Amino acid sequence: MKSTLLLMFSAAIVSVTACAQKDTNIQKPETAIDHEMVVEGLEIPWGMAFLPDGSILITEKSGEIIKFKNGQKQTITGGPEVYNRGQGGLLDIVLHPDYENNGWIYMTYASSEGEGEGGNTAVMRAKLDGAQFTNQEVLYKATPNTTRGQHFGSRMVFDREGYLYFSIGDRGGTNENPQDITRDGGKVYRINDDGSIPQDNPFVGEPNAKEAIYSYGHRNPQGMILHPETGEVWVHEHGPQGGDEINIVKKGKNYGWAEVTYGENYGGGAISDLTTREDVEDPVHYWIPSIAPSGMAFVTSDKYPSLKGNLLVGSLKFQYLEHDVLDGEEVVRREKLLEEIGRVRDVVQAPDGNIYISVEGKGIARLIEKEIEKTEE
């Protein structure tokens, strides 16, 4: 009887923990992906947005905004005043889905405005007039400020209904923020394009809640993308020592940090004895060891047949581009592309189907797929 109960218990544990996929071993690439540098001489190019005229808007963490076209760089003035400390500075940049009609451009950045010393993550929108931003509007500012230099996030994406999603990290030094909906930090937020709060957000009307919150229990999401088929928002986020995750963002759901995690403290030692819990969403994938993911793209372009239908994720820690082969929501194969290219900060598929990556200390590169030479056996 005891052995039967033990088998039943073991099977239950397997069925629970199988919900999240551990990293598969990284494999030799089955495709020949190369690159060519398009924009050189950049320090920490954090985000990229592609204008209808083919030019690229590039954010440097230091606060500089560069417009690049036809081999020429142009500095854009009128951007946000940034709090440039640690991981904070000028972060992501995206165009409004109806940009050609309304001209709105959205940026996330660390800001020192508001309560307390230091800074916290903010969202601004503005319009581009020649080489200058105008009509600046701050849509959201996390509080309170802190002098900690960690975990500002932040990526953005618009969904198919025109809502803007953005991430703010837990801001480091505390594990309280992500589980508390009355505090900013460790969350994915959803707002209308003008900064107002959608009335069907999950915590609207909750006492003292930050009503822009859409999901909570995140650590530091630095990849965010819309799934091209389902329309769901996918994020990846940094774990500590192990436990980087890919999550599908769902309304009002808890993603566990720091009560449920596959990661451990830097230098060793458990953060939590739980890797899954009934009231917490399991990641669809997690990495051990951490790759320090930043930037993410779903490949839909016919220019890259061997990558189409899969994910590309930048690795800051190991300085390569990761190709994650998908079967539905499952990562079934990992491939390391462009080894030792440098710290890959962002990955974007442009409107023309080309894929670009930003590399710290180098610049912006365009991916090139080559045919693999086959040898006769």
Q: How would you class 193 by CB atoms within 10 Å of its CB: exposed for 0-12, middle for 13-18, buried for 19 or more?
A: middle
- Reading the block at residue 265, the tokens are 């403290």
- Residue 267 is predicted with a pLDDT of 82
Whole-number Å distance between alpha carbons of 64 and 193: 24
CB contact set of 253 (below 8 Å; sequence gap of 6+): 215, 216, 217, 281
Whole-number Å distance between alpha carbons of 237 and 364: 22
Contact 293, 282 (CB under 8 A): no
CB contact set of 35 (below 8 Å; sequence gap of 6+): 338, 341, 357, 365, 366, 367, 368
Active-site annotation holds for 151 = yes
What count of residues does the chain have?
377
- Is 170 among the domain residues? yes
Report how many domains make up the chain.
1
Whole-number Å distance between alpha carbons of 87 and 22: 27
User: In the beta sheet, which residues pair with residue 158?
Assistant: 164
- Is 186 among the domain residues? yes
- Residue 33 is predicted with a pLDDT of 96
- From the candidates 35, 96, 151, 285, which is the catalytic residue? 151
- Is 138 among the domain residues? yes
- Residue 30 is predicted with a pLDDT of 77
- Residue 375 is predicted with a pLDDT of 46
- Is 142 among the domain residues? yes
Contact 166, 138 (CB under 8 A): no
- Residue 142 is predicted with a pLDDT of 98
95, amino acid identity = L
- Is 304 among the domain residues? no
Whole-number Å distance between alpha carbons of 218 and 170: 7
Whole-number Å distance between alpha carbons of 148 and 90: 16
In whole angstroms, what separates CA 105 from the centre of its chain?
18
- Residue 176 is predicted with a pLDDT of 85
Q: Residue 157: give its domain's CATH number.
A: 2.120.10.30
- Is 113 among the domain residues? yes
Q: What is the chain's pLDDT, residue by residue, as a tens digit (377 residues)?
A: 434 333 333 333 333 334 566 656 788 777 789 999 999 999 999 999 999 999 999 999 999 999 999 999 999 999 999 999 999 999 999 999 999 999 999 999 999 999 899 999 999 999 999 999 999 999 999 999 999 999 999 999 999 999 999 999 999 876 789 999 999 999 999 999 999 999 999 999 999 999 999 999 999 999 999 999 999 999 999 999 899 999 999 999 999 999 999 999 888 888 999 999 999 999 999 999 999 999 999 999 999 999 999 999 999 999 999 999 999 999 999 999 999 999 999 999 999 999 999 999 999 999 999 876 554 44
CB contact set of 72 (below 8 Å; sequence gap of 6+): none
What is the extent of the structural domain holding 196?
A: 43-293
Whole-number Å distance between alpha carbons of 86 and 207: 33
- Is 352 among the domain residues? no
- Is 83 among the domain residues? yes
